[in-house]
Structure 1
């Protein structure tokens, strides 16, 4: 084999997978047909669950420094302000939820931070390298990159909504296209607006205009609905439209796109040794800010399973992520239709924060809380205060419990981090809802694997999954 995993596409999904594999010491290559990194905003929101993933991957400080929590919407009618409201109800961080709301951040900043982290770990994106063909057999995948054959154990298509990998596999991309629901997008530089608000001209709804300041830049992301006959917008299109509807002068347009409302998903995430992730597996409305997040979480689910390479784990990727894609399409479509009717985005909250998403009932779940997100908590280990997220950070399984021995698990699985905790403020008991003496096993992707007061049951689970 030339490499273990070949990743096609270096957007947020492919980069997340590359970072996760790099920290696990898994050999990989990540290639992208574009000659340079993507320079537009496209996605611009990270949800609380994704922030937890990025915390685990070691990039949260740069992400938070480059974004902004909970900007205020400011609605205009000409020169008159007609309303203001927050993106979501303000919440303070808690011991169990350290990131309580969405973060506005341009996609190109997320990608730049992930690329820098990848380079810290010894990896690098190969830009301007195109996948031309691939075949697979029982032992691996043979890909053709710019005319040269490359042999990999696995191939992951993270190559976007027009995925070559998906088309080559012949996987159906079922759904619909809303031809009358198109949107003009652009990153613009202009004068006359403060950068403290997400500005909206909502009337009439069919002609609304929105300008969201992109933190850490001097750019605004422009959004406006477009007709079914719309074409890719030009600088003059954007300039004229903003002058007419908002009385603003645009100096520069750095990126444009015509968004077509496709609502589609695959019925398979895996075909043999080839996997699909991110927009290659699901496309939808941007309403609710869920797309980039779901792709990042696809990759986070897949990384540790590719590293292990067992069939039970590789099969579980599709079983766990396919229902999430179905939820994504339904939720974003409903939010899209509501915005199209009202002319303004609604408040975000628990529905879009993705903390509630779980893998209960999946092939890796047992009973009770198994498959739920593993919350953070403040605790004490060997007399030192710490966070559970700090104990969980890293590539492996973690087991812990309050006032209970972890010696049997350590003896049977020395590769698993095991901690006996003290819970002075009760945040562990609150977050996990388990009685004292219960052991909690957490998966490498931050979900509860299983819980039990019997160490032998924890060992048996690890024997089945971790080896």
Structure 2
């Protein structure tokens, strides 16, 4: 057994949640290791939808252009009738971008491509995934977590300040912590497979026997690849043959067509749909993120996105506490994210029931742009404030113009691991400076001008008010000119250093 090594964070599981957390910690200079018990990256497309809010997260992490280039948008759904004719419809609303919401349409990016882009970004930041290394035991005390890892070269002991279970629906971390995972099985067992096939064009998502849970099958071209994804309900029990020949037979029987020919299978999985939510997200120095904390039906394309945003919420808080912020800041992770997952489970379950009836339609609710934390202990509003934007809400984007004439966006100001404080037509210094805080002013004679009024419309600030934006792009506080008390509370909670 190798000698003990000491790090700040050990992340177990290198899916989208683990990779998001690793990228965020890497850019903050936090010492961590990211281990994955698989010997190689996940090869399937299980989570293929990237919702608008996650696109905003990916912009901040520096990978949005690569993600867009790796995939594409969802094709229209082509629902076939028994006589071979069909109707086409969009899977969801196709809203146009707005100044406040620059991303409105879900992207289709197979999970293996998304995670490939994320690993490349992690490598740029000087880190990598340690494949073939499994967490087999751990214990914790008030000072640290002592973890035992096993791999091809033997076992080693790692001591860390915090342990992150990003290890999926059958989480070893969750089980070892004794955290209950209540919920229910939803009575649908399904097959999903990435295949090469001929006989269908790539301009539509082909669906046969919609609403018939015995005969339904959908075949979707996977953007960024030459593959198609097959999705089909299957009997609740029994072995599942996932060979090309078996899939070919199923497609022929369910479609009545002999021209659709499966050439090969890249990846396939059979699963039972469940809706389950961990009763706790944190036990001492151990945290659960992603599927380790919640599992749900794939309807609505919510899973990978919720997992990414779990990690995005936790990353800056871990870094802050490791840098001296009060430990209670970490309690806000469960406080903020568990209700989001609970609501998401309800949404995806409802969409599954609609899919069983052949009438699923995705609306604004799946885009995740309205997720917020208004009830959070980290949200500070002035007494009596009303309006569209309150502390805890997602911070909108807006175009502004620099004093030197350059076009800018608020998201440009937010990008990075820092906090952002913006004054609207604000004079004087509301604070004298804090490490990790960027301060900007918008208005006449300021560094930035709201020439088209988009900032005013999105934020609804009174003259002289200030808005404080968290590192994860949510409003932390809105304060009147000269009222530093609420800012002081936010700064103290976050461990920001420096005089007011």
- Structure 1 position 77 matched with structure 2 position 81: yes
Is the Cα contact below 8 Å between 1:441 and 1:458 reproduced in 2? no
* Aligned counterpart, 2:331: 315
Task: Tell me: CA distance 1:203–1:348, structure 2 relative to 1, closer, same or farther (3 Å).
Answer: closer
Q: Tell me the number of residue pairs that the alignment of Structure 1 and Structure 2 aligns.
A: 463
* Aligned counterpart, 2:302: 290
Task: Tell me: CA distance 1:366–1:462, structure 2 relative to 1, closer, same or farther (3 Å).
Answer: closer
| 1:446-466 deviations in Å (ceiling 9; x for gaps) | 000011123413541343222
Is the Cα contact below 8 Å between 2:316 and 2:471 reproduced in 1? yes
**Structure 2: 5+ residue stretches without partners:** 443-448, 496-500
* Aligned counterpart, 2:479: 452
Moved more, 311-320 or 4-13: 311-320
* Aligned counterpart, 2:133: 129
| 1:207-255 deviations in Å (ceiling 9; x for gaps) | 1111111111001111001121143432132121112223211001111
Measured after TM superposition, the shift of residue 349 of structure 1 is: 1.9
- Structure 1 position 380 matched with structure 2 position 401: yes
Measured after TM superposition, the shift of residue 78 of structure 1 is: 5.4
Q: Secondary structure in 2 aligned to 1:301? A: helix
* Aligned counterpart, 1:201: 208
- Structure 1 position 238 matched with structure 2 position 247: yes
Is the Cα contact below 8 Å between 1:70 and 1:102 reproduced in 2? yes
* Aligned counterpart, 2:422: 400
Q: 2: CA distance between counterparts of 1:244 and 1:78?
A: 13
* Aligned counterpart, 1:299: 311
RMSD: 1.5
Q: 2: CA distance between counterparts of 1:76 and 1:341?
A: 15
Is the Cα contact below 8 Å between 1:400 and 1:406 reproduced in 2? no
Is the Cα contact below 8 Å between 1:96 and 1:377 reproduced in 2? yes
Q: Secondary structure in 1 aligned to 2:441? A: strand
Q: 2: CA distance between counterparts of 1:414 and 1:385?
A: 27
* Aligned counterpart, 2:368: 354
| 1:129-163 deviations in Å (ceiling 9; x for gaps) | 01010000101100001121100000000000000
Q: 1: CA distance between counterparts of 2:492 and 2:346?
A: 34
* Aligned counterpart, 1:105: 109
Q: Please report the TM-score for the alignment, with normalisation by the length of structure 1.
A: 0.96
Q: 1: CA distance between counterparts of 2:374 and 2:56?
A: 20
Q: 1:463 aligns with which of 466, 476, 491?
A: 491
Task: Tell me: CA distance 1:453–1:334, structure 2 relative to 1, closer, same or farther (3 Å).
Answer: same
Measured after TM superposition, the shift of residue 406 of structure 1 is: 6.4
1:57-206 superposed matches below 5 A = 57-77=61-81, 80-146=84-150, 147-178=155-186, 180-203=187-210, 205-206=212-213
Is the Cα contact below 8 Å between 1:56 and 1:394 reproduced in 2? yes
Q: Please report the TM-score for the alignment, with normalisation by the length of structure 2.
A: 0.90
Task: Tell me: CA distance 1:229–1:414, structure 2 relative to 1, closer, same or farther (3 Å).
Answer: closer
Is the Cα contact below 8 Å between 2:329 and 2:494 reproduced in 1? no
Measured after TM superposition, the shift of residue 90 of structure 1 is: 2.1
Q: Which has the larger radius of gyration?
A: 2
Moved more, 11-20 or 429-438: 429-438
Is the Cα contact below 8 Å between 2:20 and 2:311 reproduced in 1? yes
Q: Secondary structure in 2 aligned to 1:80? A: coil
